Amino acid sequence: MSTAPEVSPSGFTVGAELAGTRGRTGEIHTPHGDIATPAFIPVGTKATVKTVLPEAVAELGAQAVLANAYHLYLQPGPEIVDAAGGLGAFMNWPGPTYTDSGGFQVMSLGVGFKKVISMTAGDPTLTPDDDSIAPGKERLARVDDDGVTFKSHLDGSTHRFTPEVSMQIQHQLGADIIFAFDELTTLMNTRSYQENSLERTRLWAIRCLAEHNRLNAARSHRPPQALWGVVQGAQYEDLRRKAARDLAELSKRDTDSGGRGFGGYGIGGALEKQNLGQIVGWVNDELPLDAPKHLLGISEPDDIFTAIEAGIDTFDCVSPSRVARNGAIYSFDGRYNVTNRRFRDDFGPLDPELHNYTSNYSRAYIHHLFKAKEGLAATLCTIHNEHFIVTLVDRARRAIIDGTYREYRDGFLARYYAGTGGPTGQVG
């Protein structure tokens, strides 16, 4: 006799498993609908996926969007979003929403480095610890054990984030899934700084849980929100495992004492590309199997497949929309740049095998739009790129269910990276 899948306390139902890996399908349950996983979550930094209507984001198949607490705190302010009824109502998005904690942006200002999910260790002589910053950069933020004081990149005004402030902002923003305030580190931080930072993030997580539970009770007029912990630890196995164990224990302790605990977990910070799957595997060894896992800042196809097999359920990244605004196009035959001269008289669609609104427009026309500096170029390319990555992950999910995942993965990657020399290359 078959039994219905069990729904975990985190609001997550585990579905089909990918044999021989940690990969699986599932459903994340939120007040604004379910998210079938694995899923790619487009980033709408300032309550918009840049240049694209929310209706177009829904039409391309996105199930949820992620907005940025730091940017929305500075403009228009969380009280405005709260008065509008929350992030979804404010941006006319009816589905599930995420917000990050603001820590990523605050910390990137703090050392003057452009912090992305670093795929290389970079210059080992640079150690952007508490008293050092990138050469030639102004320090706009300072970290202490209580929180972070920073200057706005908009007007230079001074602000302070603590775990409590981050929770208050994110509750006002009203996303279904929010993240604990953490300290982002890079591969260039020293081992001793990573250790100190990890303990700071653990203590901040305790404070985030306490404030989150207080706000959920105080704001019962709003839908309940799920708080996800964030695992740091850079490239160190012992630190990644410790961070994951600590967060899982904090969640259990909070739940046992009547709180809600963490509804899921984000894996953040610096990740070496060649060790991505291994690092995610270390973390998932220590975290509850029935909790959803989110990988912050990943969207390259080879990394997506690696992460799915390591047990990641959702992803977000600004890259599909960011590169689109410069004319870089994802296609099943690899990435290319539509601004290249060879597309000047190419009247085919951006990708003949991916059908969406942009299929009505030729490469030649979009090439012209870029050369003429028309904004429609960015809109069309963003719709296409977001649809491409959303579709890639959707097809992976269906392939896990029907037992054809490995054939799908191998066929996709062989074609996508053909002629590039491997996953680090690009076409055209």
**Of 412, 414, 415, nearest to 395 (Cα)?**
412
User: In the prediction, which pLDDT does 104 show?
Assistant: 74
Q: Catalytic site residue 100?
A: yes
Q: Tens digits of per-residue pLDDT, 298-346?
A: 879 999 999 999 999 999 999 999 999 999 999 999 999 999 999 999 9
Rounded Cα–Cα distance for residues 45 and 40 (Å): 15
Query: Rounded distance, CA 47 to CA 192, Å?
Result: 37
Q: Is the pLDDT of residue 120 over 90?
A: no
Range name among 97-111, 222-236, 414-428 with the lowest pLDDT average: 414-428
For residue 383, the one-letter residue type is I
**CATH topology for 13-317?**
TIM Barrel (3.20.20)
203-208, Cβ contacts within 8 angstroms, sequence gap of 24 or more: 203/145, 204/163, 204/180, 205/163, 205/180, 205/229, 205/230, 205/246, 205/247, 205/250, 206/250, 207/162, 207/163, 207/164, 208/163, 208/164, 208/166, 208/167, 208/180, 208/181
Quote the pLDDT of residue 123.
42
- Marked catalytic residue, from 176, 182, 316, 394: 316
Decide if 316 is catalytic.
yes
User: Can you give the pLDDT at residue 10?
Assistant: 60
H helices within 28-156, ranges in order? Answer: 54-59, 69-74, 78-83, 87-90, 103-111
Q: What is the pLDDT of residues 261-305, one digit of tens each?
A: 999 999 988 788 899 999 999 999 999 999 999 998 887 999 999
Q: What is the pTM of this model?
A: 0.91
Which is the catalytic residue, given 100, 176, 313, 351? 100
Residue span(s) of the chain under CATH 3.20.20.105 come to 13-317
